[in-house]
Chain A
Protein backbone atom coordinates (compact mmCIF):
# COMPACT_ATOMS: atom_id res chain seq x y z
CA UNK A 1 0.00 0.00 0.00
CA UNK A 2 0.97 3.63 -0.53
CA UNK A 3 1.16 6.14 2.35
CA UNK A 4 -2.40 7.40 1.74
CA UNK A 5 -3.76 3.83 1.50
CA UNK A 6 -2.03 2.83 4.73
CA UNK A 7 -3.29 5.84 6.68
CA UNK A 8 -6.87 5.48 5.38
CA UNK A 9 -6.84 1.75 6.17
CA UNK A 10 -5.58 2.38 9.70
CA UNK A 11 -8.11 5.15 10.38
CA UNK A 12 -11.03 3.09 9.13
CA UNK A 13 -10.07 -0.08 10.99
CA UNK A 14 -9.23 -2.05 7.86
CA UNK A 15 -6.23 -4.23 7.12
CA UNK A 16 -6.06 -3.00 3.53
CA UNK A 17 -7.80 -0.67 1.08
CA UNK A 18 -7.59 -0.14 -2.67
CA UNK A 19 -7.96 3.06 -4.77
CA UNK A 20 -11.56 3.92 -5.63
CA UNK A 21 -12.98 2.33 -2.49
CA UNK A 22 -14.97 4.45 -0.07
CA UNK A 23 -14.06 4.13 3.59
CA UNK A 24 -15.48 5.55 6.82
CA UNK A 25 -12.46 7.07 8.50
CA UNK A 26 -11.93 8.61 11.94
CA UNK A 27 -9.63 11.66 11.72
CA UNK A 28 -7.13 12.32 14.50
CA UNK A 29 -7.54 16.08 14.19
CA UNK A 30 -10.24 18.39 12.81
CA UNK A 31 -9.01 21.89 12.09
CA UNK A 32 -11.37 24.81 11.76
CA UNK A 33 -10.30 28.40 11.30
CA UNK A 34 -12.38 31.52 10.81
CA UNK A 35 -15.21 29.24 9.63
CA UNK A 36 -15.61 27.80 13.15
CA UNK A 37 -18.69 29.88 13.99
CA UNK A 38 -20.47 28.45 10.96
CA UNK A 39 -19.75 24.86 11.99
CA UNK A 40 -20.98 25.74 15.49
CA UNK A 41 -24.16 27.04 13.86
CA UNK A 42 -24.65 23.78 11.97
CA UNK A 43 -24.23 21.82 15.19
CA UNK A 44 -26.94 23.89 16.80
CA UNK A 45 -29.21 23.59 13.76
CA UNK A 46 -29.08 19.80 13.71
CA UNK A 47 -29.72 19.62 17.44
CA UNK A 48 -26.37 18.11 18.46
CA UNK A 49 -24.97 19.01 21.88
CA UNK A 50 -22.02 16.69 22.31
CA UNK A 51 -18.69 16.44 20.52
CA UNK A 52 -17.30 13.02 19.61
CA UNK A 53 -13.97 13.99 21.20
CA UNK A 54 -13.05 17.61 22.09
CA UNK A 55 -9.35 16.67 22.06
CA UNK A 56 -9.55 16.07 18.32
CA UNK A 57 -10.61 19.64 17.60
CA UNK A 58 -8.17 22.43 16.80
CA UNK A 59 -9.41 25.97 16.27
CA UNK A 60 -7.27 28.85 14.98
CA UNK A 61 -8.73 32.29 14.19
CA UNK A 62 -6.43 33.19 11.33
CA UNK A 63 -8.33 34.81 8.41
CA UNK A 64 -9.30 38.46 9.04
CA UNK A 65 -7.50 38.81 12.36
CA UNK A 66 -7.97 40.82 14.45
CA UNK A 67 -11.60 41.56 13.51
CA UNK A 68 -12.10 44.49 11.16
CA UNK A 69 -15.89 44.85 11.38
CA UNK A 70 -18.48 44.21 14.08
CA UNK A 71 -19.72 41.21 12.11
CA UNK A 72 -16.27 39.60 12.15
CA UNK A 73 -15.93 40.45 15.85
CA UNK A 74 -19.26 38.78 16.65
CA UNK A 75 -18.38 35.68 14.61
CA UNK A 76 -15.01 35.39 16.34
CA UNK A 77 -16.74 35.71 19.69
CA UNK A 78 -19.06 32.83 18.70
CA UNK A 79 -15.99 30.72 17.90
CA UNK A 80 -14.28 31.60 21.21
CA UNK A 81 -17.40 30.79 23.21
CA UNK A 82 -17.81 27.52 21.36
CA UNK A 83 -14.23 26.48 22.21
CA UNK A 84 -14.62 27.45 25.87
CA UNK A 85 -18.01 25.80 26.33
CA UNK A 86 -16.91 22.55 24.71
CA UNK A 87 -13.53 22.26 26.40
CA UNK A 88 -11.48 22.63 23.22
CA UNK A 89 -7.93 23.07 24.50
CA UNK A 90 -6.25 23.38 21.09
CA UNK A 91 -7.65 26.87 20.65
CA UNK A 92 -5.53 29.69 19.20
CA UNK A 93 -6.82 33.24 19.04
CA UNK A 94 -6.27 36.02 16.49
CA UNK A 95 -2.69 36.67 17.63
CA UNK A 96 -1.32 33.20 16.80
CA UNK A 97 -1.00 33.17 13.00
CA UNK A 98 -2.00 30.92 10.11
CA UNK A 99 -3.73 27.74 11.31
CA UNK A 100 -1.56 25.29 9.36
CA UNK A 101 1.72 26.73 10.60
CA UNK A 102 0.46 27.20 14.17
CA UNK A 103 -0.72 23.57 14.42
CA UNK A 104 2.57 22.20 13.08
CA UNK A 105 4.63 24.43 15.40
CA UNK A 106 2.52 23.30 18.37
CA UNK A 107 3.16 19.61 17.67
CA UNK A 108 -0.46 18.82 16.80
CA UNK A 109 0.50 17.36 13.41
CA UNK A 110 2.07 13.92 13.69
CA UNK A 111 3.25 11.52 10.95
CA UNK A 112 0.59 8.95 10.07
CA UNK A 113 -2.30 11.09 11.33
CA UNK A 114 -5.45 11.80 9.33
CA UNK A 115 -6.33 15.50 9.52
CA UNK A 116 -9.30 17.26 7.93
CA UNK A 117 -10.11 20.94 8.09
CA UNK A 118 -11.99 23.89 6.65
CA UNK A 119 -9.19 24.83 4.29
CA UNK A 120 -8.01 23.41 1.00
CA UNK A 121 -4.36 23.87 1.97
CA UNK A 122 -4.61 21.21 4.70
CA UNK A 123 -2.48 19.25 2.22
CA UNK A 124 0.48 20.99 3.92
CA UNK A 125 0.32 18.49 6.81
CA UNK A 126 1.87 15.95 4.45
CA UNK A 127 5.16 17.84 4.89
CA UNK A 128 5.34 15.92 8.19
CA UNK A 129 3.88 12.69 6.79
CA UNK A 130 0.25 13.26 7.87
CA UNK A 131 -2.70 12.94 5.50
CA UNK A 132 -4.28 16.40 5.40
CA UNK A 133 -7.25 17.31 3.22
CA UNK A 134 -9.84 20.09 3.03
CA UNK A 135 -13.59 19.85 3.68
CA UNK A 136 -16.43 22.36 4.09
CA UNK A 137 -17.80 23.78 7.35
CA UNK A 138 -20.91 21.57 7.47
CA UNK A 139 -18.75 18.48 7.14
CA UNK A 140 -16.47 19.75 9.89
CA UNK A 141 -19.53 19.97 12.16
CA UNK A 142 -20.43 16.43 11.12
CA UNK A 143 -16.98 15.12 12.07
CA UNK A 144 -17.13 17.03 15.37
CA UNK A 145 -20.34 15.16 16.20
CA UNK A 146 -19.82 11.72 14.70
CA UNK A 147 -16.03 11.50 14.73
CA UNK A 148 -15.93 10.19 11.17
CA UNK A 149 -16.43 10.95 7.47
CA UNK A 150 -16.50 9.07 4.17
CA UNK A 151 -13.39 9.32 2.03
CA UNK A 152 -12.54 7.82 -1.32
CA UNK A 153 -9.17 6.08 -1.39
CA UNK A 154 -7.11 8.03 -3.96
CA UNK A 155 -4.76 6.75 -6.61
CA UNK A 156 -1.16 7.63 -5.76
CA UNK A 157 1.50 9.35 -7.85
CA UNK A 158 5.25 9.32 -7.20
CA UNK A 159 7.18 12.49 -7.99
CA UNK A 160 10.89 11.74 -7.95
CA UNK A 161 13.18 14.73 -7.49
CA UNK A 162 16.82 14.54 -8.45
CA UNK A 163 19.61 17.11 -8.62
CA UNK A 164 20.20 20.30 -6.66
CA UNK A 165 18.49 23.66 -6.94
CA UNK A 166 20.62 26.14 -8.90
CA UNK A 167 21.27 29.43 -7.04
CA UNK A 168 18.15 31.60 -6.95
CA UNK A 169 15.76 28.66 -7.46
CA UNK A 170 13.59 27.41 -4.59
CA UNK A 171 10.82 24.97 -3.63
CA UNK A 172 8.23 27.50 -4.83
CA UNK A 173 9.78 27.59 -8.30
CA UNK A 174 9.74 23.79 -8.44
CA UNK A 175 6.02 23.72 -7.58
CA UNK A 176 5.14 26.46 -10.06
CA UNK A 177 7.06 24.45 -12.67
CA UNK A 178 5.08 21.29 -11.79
CA UNK A 179 1.70 23.07 -11.70
CA UNK A 180 2.41 24.67 -15.07
CA UNK A 181 3.52 21.37 -16.54
CA UNK A 182 0.74 19.16 -15.12
CA UNK A 183 -2.10 21.72 -14.95
CA UNK A 184 -4.53 22.86 -12.26
CA UNK A 185 -6.12 19.40 -12.32
CA UNK A 186 -2.94 17.52 -13.21
CA UNK A 187 -3.15 15.47 -10.01
CA UNK A 188 -6.88 15.80 -9.36
CA UNK A 189 -8.11 13.49 -6.55
CA UNK A 190 -4.62 11.99 -6.34
CA UNK A 191 -2.26 11.45 -3.45
CA UNK A 192 1.23 12.66 -4.32
CA UNK A 193 4.37 11.27 -2.67
CA UNK A 194 7.70 13.06 -3.11
CA UNK A 195 10.85 10.92 -3.35
CA UNK A 196 14.37 11.11 -4.68
CA UNK A 197 17.75 12.31 -3.51
CA UNK A 198 16.77 15.95 -3.51
CA UNK A 199 13.47 15.33 -1.69
CA UNK A 200 15.59 14.08 1.20
CA UNK A 201 17.73 17.24 0.99
CA UNK A 202 14.78 19.59 1.29
CA UNK A 203 14.19 21.06 4.74
CA UNK A 204 10.79 20.98 6.48
CA UNK A 205 10.01 24.57 5.47
CA UNK A 206 10.55 23.70 1.78
CA UNK A 207 8.42 20.57 2.21
CA UNK A 208 5.65 22.72 3.65
CA UNK A 209 5.75 25.02 0.62
CA UNK A 210 5.56 22.03 -1.70
CA UNK A 211 2.74 20.09 -0.04
CA UNK A 212 0.84 23.38 0.28
CA UNK A 213 1.22 24.25 -3.41
CA UNK A 214 0.40 20.66 -4.42
CA UNK A 215 -3.24 21.65 -3.78
CA UNK A 216 -3.00 23.89 -6.86
CA UNK A 217 -2.69 20.80 -9.06
CA UNK A 218 -5.78 19.33 -7.51
CA UNK A 219 -4.34 16.78 -5.07
CA UNK A 220 -6.35 15.21 -2.28
CA UNK A 221 -3.18 14.97 -0.19
CA UNK A 222 0.60 15.09 -0.62
CA UNK A 223 3.44 13.55 1.37
CA UNK A 224 7.11 13.70 2.16
CA UNK A 225 7.93 10.36 3.78
CA UNK A 226 9.11 11.17 7.32
CA UNK A 227 12.88 11.08 7.87
CA UNK A 228 15.54 12.46 10.20
CA UNK A 229 14.52 16.03 9.29
CA UNK A 230 10.91 15.33 10.24
CA UNK A 231 11.99 13.76 13.54
CA UNK A 232 14.28 16.71 14.27
CA UNK A 233 11.49 19.22 13.52
CA UNK A 234 9.13 17.43 15.91
CA UNK A 235 11.72 16.58 18.58
CA UNK A 236 10.76 19.23 21.12
CA UNK A 237 7.21 19.71 19.89
CA UNK A 238 5.35 16.48 20.66
CA UNK A 239 3.74 16.34 24.11
CA UNK A 240 4.05 12.56 23.91
CA UNK A 241 7.13 11.44 21.90
CA UNK A 242 5.58 7.95 21.68
CA UNK A 243 3.10 9.40 19.18
CA UNK A 244 5.88 9.56 16.58
CA UNK A 245 5.18 6.52 14.41
CA UNK A 246 5.85 7.34 10.74
CA UNK A 247 3.98 5.58 7.94
CA UNK A 248 5.85 4.54 4.79
CA UNK A 249 4.75 3.04 1.49
CA UNK A 250 5.42 -0.66 0.95
CA UNK A 251 8.12 -1.50 -1.60
CA UNK A 252 5.44 -3.18 -3.77
CA UNK A 253 2.94 -0.28 -3.47
CA UNK A 254 1.12 0.51 -6.72
CA UNK A 255 1.38 3.98 -8.26
CA UNK A 256 -0.70 5.36 -11.07
CA UNK A 257 2.35 7.11 -12.47
CA UNK A 258 5.85 8.27 -11.68
CA UNK A 259 7.02 11.75 -12.63
CA UNK A 260 10.77 12.37 -12.60
CA UNK A 261 12.00 15.96 -12.20
CA UNK A 262 15.60 17.14 -12.51
CA UNK A 263 15.53 20.21 -10.29
CA UNK A 264 18.99 21.33 -11.35
CA UNK A 265 17.48 22.37 -14.72
CA UNK A 266 14.90 24.73 -13.18
CA UNK A 267 14.75 28.50 -13.33
CA UNK A 268 12.89 31.01 -11.15
CA UNK A 269 9.21 30.75 -12.15
CA UNK A 270 6.26 33.16 -11.98
CA UNK A 271 2.53 32.33 -12.13
CA UNK A 272 0.75 34.95 -14.23
CA UNK A 273 -2.86 36.18 -13.89
CA UNK A 274 -5.40 34.66 -13.32
CA UNK A 275 -4.56 30.98 -12.84
CA UNK A 276 -1.72 29.30 -10.99
CA UNK A 277 -1.11 26.95 -13.94
CA UNK A 278 -0.32 29.98 -16.10
CA UNK A 279 3.39 29.83 -15.26
CA UNK A 280 6.33 31.33 -17.10
CA UNK A 281 10.10 31.35 -16.60
CA UNK A 282 11.25 34.63 -15.06
CA UNK A 283 12.85 35.79 -18.31
CA UNK A 284 9.46 36.03 -20.03
CA UNK A 285 7.88 38.30 -17.42
CA UNK A 286 10.85 40.28 -16.09
CA UNK A 287 10.18 44.01 -16.33
CA UNK A 288 6.45 43.75 -15.57
CA UNK A 289 5.61 46.76 -13.39
CA UNK A 290 4.37 46.03 -9.84
CA UNK A 291 2.56 48.27 -7.32
CA UNK A 292 2.55 45.90 -4.37
CA UNK A 293 4.68 43.04 -3.11
CA UNK A 294 3.10 40.66 -0.60
CA UNK A 295 5.43 38.44 1.41
CA UNK A 296 3.00 36.21 3.27
CA UNK A 297 0.63 33.19 3.29
CA UNK A 298 0.82 29.55 4.38
CA UNK A 299 2.89 28.86 1.26
CA UNK A 300 5.79 31.23 1.88
CA UNK A 301 5.76 33.24 5.13
CA UNK A 302 7.81 30.88 7.25
CA UNK A 303 10.96 32.05 8.98
CA UNK A 304 13.16 30.55 6.26
CA UNK A 305 11.19 32.48 3.61
CA UNK A 306 11.62 35.78 5.45
CA UNK A 307 15.37 35.05 5.74
CA UNK A 308 15.68 34.53 1.97
CA UNK A 309 13.89 37.82 1.24
CA UNK A 310 15.90 39.69 3.88
CA UNK A 311 19.13 38.27 2.44
CA UNK A 312 18.43 40.07 -0.82
CA UNK A 313 16.99 43.23 0.76
CA UNK A 314 19.79 43.73 3.30
CA UNK A 315 21.48 47.06 2.66
CA UNK A 316 19.10 47.87 -0.20
CA UNK A 317 15.91 49.91 -0.55
CA UNK A 318 12.75 48.82 -2.27
CA UNK A 319 11.53 50.90 -5.22
CA UNK A 320 9.60 54.01 -4.09
CA UNK A 321 6.63 52.98 -6.23
CA UNK A 322 6.20 49.65 -4.40
CA UNK A 323 4.33 48.88 -1.18
CA UNK A 324 5.91 45.79 0.38
CA UNK A 325 3.63 44.08 2.89
CA UNK A 326 5.25 41.46 5.10
CA UNK A 327 2.88 39.22 7.04
CA UNK A 328 4.77 36.60 9.06
CA UNK A 329 3.03 33.22 9.10
CA UNK A 330 2.82 32.97 12.87
CA UNK A 331 3.71 34.78 16.08
CA UNK A 332 6.53 32.31 16.65
CA UNK A 333 7.96 33.11 13.21
CA UNK A 334 7.57 36.83 13.88
CA UNK A 335 9.43 36.56 17.19
CA UNK A 336 12.24 34.59 15.58
CA UNK A 337 12.50 37.15 12.80
CA UNK A 338 12.49 39.95 15.35
CA UNK A 339 15.24 38.39 17.44
CA UNK A 340 17.47 37.62 14.47
CA UNK A 341 17.17 41.08 12.94
CA UNK A 342 15.29 39.85 9.87
CA UNK A 343 12.26 42.02 10.65
CA UNK A 344 14.50 45.05 11.04
CA UNK A 345 16.04 44.41 7.62
CA UNK A 346 12.60 44.10 6.03
CA UNK A 347 11.44 47.32 7.68
CA UNK A 348 14.62 49.26 6.89
CA UNK A 349 14.44 48.24 3.26
CA UNK A 350 11.13 50.06 3.02
CA UNK A 351 8.65 47.27 3.81
CA UNK A 352 5.84 47.27 6.32
CA UNK A 353 5.16 44.42 8.74
CA UNK A 354 1.65 43.38 9.78
CA UNK A 355 0.45 41.05 12.52
CA UNK A 356 0.76 37.32 11.74
CA UNK A 357 -2.11 35.58 9.96
CA UNK A 358 -3.51 35.06 6.46
CA UNK A 359 -3.51 38.82 5.82
CA UNK A 360 -3.74 40.08 2.26
CA UNK A 361 -3.94 36.55 0.80
CA UNK A 362 -7.40 36.24 2.38
CA UNK A 363 -8.35 39.82 1.51
CA UNK A 364 -7.48 41.24 4.92
CA UNK A 365 -5.73 44.48 4.00
CA UNK A 366 -3.53 45.08 0.98
CA UNK A 367 -6.61 45.38 -1.23
CA UNK A 368 -5.88 46.14 -4.89
CA UNK A 369 -7.69 48.78 -6.93
CA UNK A 370 -8.44 48.78 -10.67
CA UNK A 371 -5.34 48.26 -12.77
CA UNK A 372 -2.97 47.54 -9.86
CA UNK A 373 -0.46 44.72 -9.99
CA UNK A 374 0.66 42.66 -7.01
CA UNK A 375 3.50 40.17 -6.86
CA UNK A 376 2.75 37.71 -4.07
CA UNK A 377 4.40 34.71 -2.42
CA UNK A 378 0.95 33.18 -1.79
CA UNK A 379 -0.57 30.20 -3.56
CA UNK A 380 -3.42 31.73 -5.56
CA UNK A 381 -3.66 34.48 -8.18
CA UNK A 382 -7.36 34.10 -9.05
CA UNK A 383 -9.17 37.07 -10.54
CA UNK A 384 -10.29 39.54 -7.86
CA UNK A 385 -8.87 37.50 -4.97
CA UNK A 386 -7.09 40.55 -3.55
CA UNK A 387 -9.60 43.19 -4.61
CA UNK A 388 -10.68 44.60 -7.97
CA UNK A 389 -11.38 42.18 -10.81
CA UNK A 390 -9.33 44.60 -12.90
CA UNK A 391 -6.23 44.08 -10.74
CA UNK A 392 -3.60 41.43 -11.42
CA UNK A 393 -1.76 39.00 -9.16
CA UNK A 394 1.51 37.27 -10.02
CA UNK A 395 3.02 34.57 -7.78
CA UNK A 396 6.68 33.90 -7.08
CA UNK A 397 9.25 32.75 -4.54
CA UNK A 398 10.31 35.10 -1.69
CA UNK A 399 13.63 35.68 -3.49
CA UNK A 400 11.94 36.81 -6.71
CA UNK A 401 9.61 38.94 -4.62
CA UNK A 402 12.50 40.72 -2.88
CA UNK A 403 14.37 41.32 -6.15
CA UNK A 404 11.19 42.66 -7.77
CA UNK A 405 10.38 44.96 -4.85
CA UNK A 406 13.81 46.55 -5.31
CA UNK A 407 13.41 47.00 -9.07
CA UNK A 408 9.72 48.05 -9.00
CA UNK A 409 9.12 45.42 -11.63
CA UNK A 410 9.31 41.62 -11.78
CA UNK A 411 13.02 40.81 -11.59
CA UNK A 412 15.33 37.80 -11.61
CA UNK A 413 16.67 37.15 -8.07
CA UNK A 414 19.90 35.76 -9.54
CA UNK A 415 20.89 39.35 -10.37
CA UNK A 416 21.18 39.98 -6.62
CA UNK A 417 23.06 36.87 -5.58
CA UNK A 418 26.81 36.58 -5.03
CA UNK A 419 27.37 40.29 -5.00
Chain B
Protein backbone atom coordinates (compact mmCIF):
# COMPACT_ATOMS: atom_id res chain seq x y z
CA UNK B 1 0.00 0.00 0.00
CA UNK B 2 1.35 3.40 -0.97
CA UNK B 3 0.96 6.24 1.49
CA UNK B 4 -0.08 8.63 -1.30
CA UNK B 5 -2.56 7.68 -3.99
CA UNK B 6 -3.10 10.02 -6.89
CA UNK B 7 -5.40 9.85 -9.87
CA UNK B 8 -8.61 10.47 -11.79
CA UNK B 9 -11.96 9.98 -10.18
CA UNK B 10 -14.99 8.01 -11.37
CA UNK B 11 -18.11 9.06 -9.49
CA UNK B 12 -20.94 6.81 -8.27
CA UNK B 13 -24.13 7.67 -6.36
CA UNK B 14 -25.56 6.16 -3.15
CA UNK B 15 -26.19 2.50 -2.26
CA UNK B 16 -23.93 0.82 -4.83
CA UNK B 17 -24.47 -2.77 -3.66
CA UNK B 18 -22.09 -5.70 -3.92
CA UNK B 19 -24.40 -7.48 -6.42
CA UNK B 20 -23.73 -4.55 -8.75
CA UNK B 21 -20.00 -4.60 -8.03
CA UNK B 22 -19.77 -8.31 -8.82
CA UNK B 23 -22.86 -10.44 -9.56
CA UNK B 24 -23.21 -13.70 -7.60
CA UNK B 25 -22.84 -15.90 -10.66
CA UNK B 26 -19.16 -14.90 -11.00
CA UNK B 27 -18.17 -15.81 -7.46
CA UNK B 28 -16.79 -19.07 -8.83
CA UNK B 29 -13.70 -17.05 -9.75
CA UNK B 30 -11.02 -15.97 -7.30
CA UNK B 31 -8.65 -14.38 -9.78
CA UNK B 32 -8.94 -10.58 -9.65
CA UNK B 33 -8.60 -9.99 -13.41
CA UNK B 34 -11.24 -12.62 -14.14
CA UNK B 35 -13.61 -11.06 -11.61
CA UNK B 36 -12.90 -7.58 -12.97
CA UNK B 37 -14.16 -8.59 -16.42
CA UNK B 38 -17.67 -8.73 -14.92
CA UNK B 39 -17.45 -5.96 -12.32
CA UNK B 40 -20.30 -3.44 -12.54
CA UNK B 41 -21.61 -5.08 -15.74
CA UNK B 42 -25.17 -4.83 -14.39
CA UNK B 43 -24.93 -1.07 -14.94
CA UNK B 44 -25.10 -1.71 -18.68
CA UNK B 45 -23.14 -0.82 -21.77
CA UNK B 46 -19.57 0.34 -21.39
CA UNK B 47 -19.11 -1.26 -17.96
CA UNK B 48 -16.70 -2.32 -16.68
CA UNK B 49 -14.21 -1.26 -19.34
CA UNK B 50 -14.88 2.45 -19.04
CA UNK B 51 -13.74 2.30 -15.41
CA UNK B 52 -10.27 1.11 -16.43
CA UNK B 53 -9.19 4.63 -17.40
CA UNK B 54 -9.89 5.89 -13.86
CA UNK B 55 -7.78 5.40 -10.72
CA UNK B 56 -10.07 6.13 -7.80
CA UNK B 57 -13.77 5.44 -7.26
CA UNK B 58 -15.71 8.08 -5.33
CA UNK B 59 -19.20 7.21 -4.15
CA UNK B 60 -22.05 8.49 -2.04
CA UNK B 61 -23.55 6.76 0.99
CA UNK B 62 -23.48 3.07 1.84
CA UNK B 63 -21.03 1.88 -0.83
CA UNK B 64 -20.78 -1.92 -0.96
CA UNK B 65 -24.07 -2.66 0.82
CA UNK B 66 -25.73 -6.05 0.53
CA UNK B 67 -23.91 -9.36 0.29
CA UNK B 68 -20.74 -9.88 2.37
CA UNK B 69 -18.91 -11.18 -0.72
CA UNK B 70 -15.23 -10.34 -0.46
CA UNK B 71 -14.86 -10.53 -4.24
CA UNK B 72 -16.45 -7.07 -4.46
CA UNK B 73 -13.16 -5.59 -3.22
CA UNK B 74 -11.11 -8.04 -5.30
CA UNK B 75 -12.96 -7.18 -8.53
CA UNK B 76 -12.44 -3.45 -7.98
CA UNK B 77 -8.71 -4.02 -7.56
CA UNK B 78 -8.74 -6.12 -10.72
CA UNK B 79 -9.93 -3.05 -12.64
CA UNK B 80 -6.76 -1.25 -11.60
CA UNK B 81 -8.60 0.97 -9.13
CA UNK B 82 -6.21 2.10 -6.40
CA UNK B 83 -8.65 3.34 -3.74
CA UNK B 84 -12.31 3.99 -2.99
CA UNK B 85 -13.54 7.15 -1.27
CA UNK B 86 -17.17 7.29 -0.16
CA UNK B 87 -19.48 9.35 2.01
CA UNK B 88 -19.96 6.07 3.92
CA UNK B 89 -19.39 2.33 3.47
CA UNK B 90 -21.42 -0.71 4.41
CA UNK B 91 -19.54 -2.52 7.19
CA UNK B 92 -19.04 -5.80 5.31
CA UNK B 93 -17.45 -4.03 2.33
CA UNK B 94 -15.31 -1.89 4.65
CA UNK B 95 -13.83 -5.00 6.29
CA UNK B 96 -13.45 -6.87 3.02
CA UNK B 97 -11.60 -3.95 1.41
CA UNK B 98 -9.09 -3.83 4.27
CA UNK B 99 -8.72 -7.61 4.22
CA UNK B 100 -8.19 -7.51 0.46
CA UNK B 101 -5.62 -4.70 0.67
CA UNK B 102 -7.82 -2.08 -1.06
CA UNK B 103 -7.41 1.38 0.54
CA UNK B 104 -10.76 2.96 1.48
CA UNK B 105 -11.51 6.37 2.91
CA UNK B 106 -14.72 7.70 4.43
CA UNK B 107 -14.93 11.38 3.54
CA UNK B 108 -18.44 12.80 2.86
CA UNK B 109 -17.15 16.31 2.06
CA UNK B 110 -14.82 15.09 -0.69
CA UNK B 111 -17.51 12.77 -2.06
CA UNK B 112 -19.81 15.77 -2.39
CA UNK B 113 -17.16 18.03 -3.93
CA UNK B 114 -15.76 15.97 -6.82
CA UNK B 115 -17.11 14.94 -10.22
CA UNK B 116 -16.04 12.44 -12.85
CA UNK B 117 -12.57 13.10 -14.22
CA UNK B 118 -11.36 15.25 -11.31
CA UNK B 119 -7.82 14.63 -10.07
CA UNK B 120 -7.34 13.99 -6.36
CA UNK B 121 -4.49 12.91 -4.10
CA UNK B 122 -5.12 10.80 -1.01
CA UNK B 123 -2.54 10.94 1.77
CA UNK B 124 -3.36 7.94 3.96
CA UNK B 125 -0.60 8.70 6.45
CA UNK B 126 -1.68 12.31 7.04
CA UNK B 127 -5.40 11.56 6.82
CA UNK B 128 -6.20 14.10 4.14
CA UNK B 129 -7.25 14.37 0.49
CA UNK B 130 -6.01 17.15 -1.79
CA UNK B 131 -8.40 18.37 -4.47
CA UNK B 132 -8.22 21.57 -6.45
CA UNK B 133 -6.03 23.28 -3.87
CA UNK B 134 -8.32 22.29 -0.98
CA UNK B 135 -7.68 19.83 1.85
CA UNK B 136 -10.29 17.35 2.98
CA UNK B 137 -9.46 15.60 6.24
CA UNK B 138 -10.61 12.14 7.29
CA UNK B 139 -10.09 10.15 10.50
CA UNK B 140 -7.14 7.76 10.32
CA UNK B 141 -7.78 4.07 10.76
CA UNK B 142 -6.73 2.43 14.03
CA UNK B 143 -3.09 1.29 13.77
CA UNK B 144 -3.99 -2.39 14.18
CA UNK B 145 -6.29 -2.20 11.17
CA UNK B 146 -3.88 -0.08 9.10
CA UNK B 147 -1.25 -2.76 9.61
CA UNK B 148 -3.42 -5.26 7.67
CA UNK B 149 -3.87 -2.79 4.82
CA UNK B 150 -0.18 -1.92 4.74
CA UNK B 151 0.82 -5.55 4.31
CA UNK B 152 -1.55 -5.87 1.36
CA UNK B 153 -4.42 -7.63 3.08
CA UNK B 154 -5.34 -10.14 5.75
CA UNK B 155 -3.82 -13.19 4.03
CA UNK B 156 -0.42 -11.49 3.89
CA UNK B 157 -0.84 -10.28 7.47
CA UNK B 158 -1.65 -13.82 8.62
CA UNK B 159 1.31 -15.20 6.73
CA UNK B 160 3.65 -12.76 8.42
CA UNK B 161 2.17 -13.56 11.84
CA UNK B 162 2.57 -17.29 11.29
CA UNK B 163 6.15 -16.83 10.10
CA UNK B 164 6.95 -14.78 13.19
CA UNK B 165 5.47 -17.50 15.38
CA UNK B 166 7.47 -20.29 13.73
CA UNK B 167 10.66 -18.22 13.95
CA UNK B 168 10.03 -17.70 17.65
CA UNK B 169 9.70 -21.40 18.41
Contacts and interface: CB of A to CB of B under 8 A. Distances in A.
Interface string A334-360: 000000000000000000000000000
B154 A382 contact: no
B62 A188 contact: yes
B68 A136 contact: yes
Nearest to A38: B30
A276 to B, nearest CB: 9
A184 B87 CA distance: 14
A60 to B, nearest CB: 15
Contact of B30 (A41, A185, A383, A389): A41
A136 B95 CA distance: 8
Contacts of A172: none
Residue among A35, A63, A71, A134 with the most chain B CB within 10 A? A134
A46 B159 contact: yes
B42 A384 contact: yes
Interface in A27-71: 35, 38, 41-42, 45-48, 63, 69, 71
A118 B19 contact: no
Contacts of B67: 119-120, 380
Contact of A382 (B17, B30, B62): B17
B91 interface: yes
A188 B91 contact: yes
A138 B99 contact: yes
Interface string B12-23: 000101011001
A133 B92 CA distance: 9
Q: How large is the interface on B (under 10, 10 to 19, 20 to 34, 35 or more residues)?
A: 35 or more
Interface in A119-149: 119-120, 133-139, 141-142, 145-146
Interface centre among B28, B142, B159 (most CB of A within 10 A): B28
Interface in B153-169: 153-155, 158-159, 161-163
A139 B154 contact: yes
A277 interface: yes
B25 interface: yes
A205 to B, nearest CB: 23
Nearest to B73: A136
Interface in B12-59: 15, 17, 19-20, 23-25, 27-28, 30, 41-44
B23 A22 contact: no
A interface, over-half SS: loop
Contacts of B92: 120, 134-136
Interface string A82-108: 000000000000000000000000000
A384 B17 CA distance: 11
Contacts of B145: 22, 150
Contacts of A119: 67-68
A46 B42 contact: no
A75 interface: yes
Given A184-B65, A188-B62, A382-B19, A72 B153 contact: no
Interface in A179-206: 184-185, 188-189
Contacts of B23: 363, 384-385
13 contacts: A38-B30, A46-B162, A47-B162, A71-B28, A119-B67, A139-B96, A141-B155, A185-B88, A188-B62, A380-B66, A382-B66, A384-B20, A389-B41
Given A41-B30, A42-B155, 5 more contacts: A48-B158, A119-B68, A138-B99, A138-B154, A139-B96
Interface of B: 15, 17, 19-20, 23-25, 27-28, 30, 41-44, 61-62, 65-70, 73, 88, 90-92, 95-96, 99-100, 142, 144-145, 153-155, 158-159, 161-163
Chain A to chain B: the 5 pairs with minimum beta-carbon distance, closest first: A136-B70, A134-B68, A384-B42, A185-B62, A382-B19
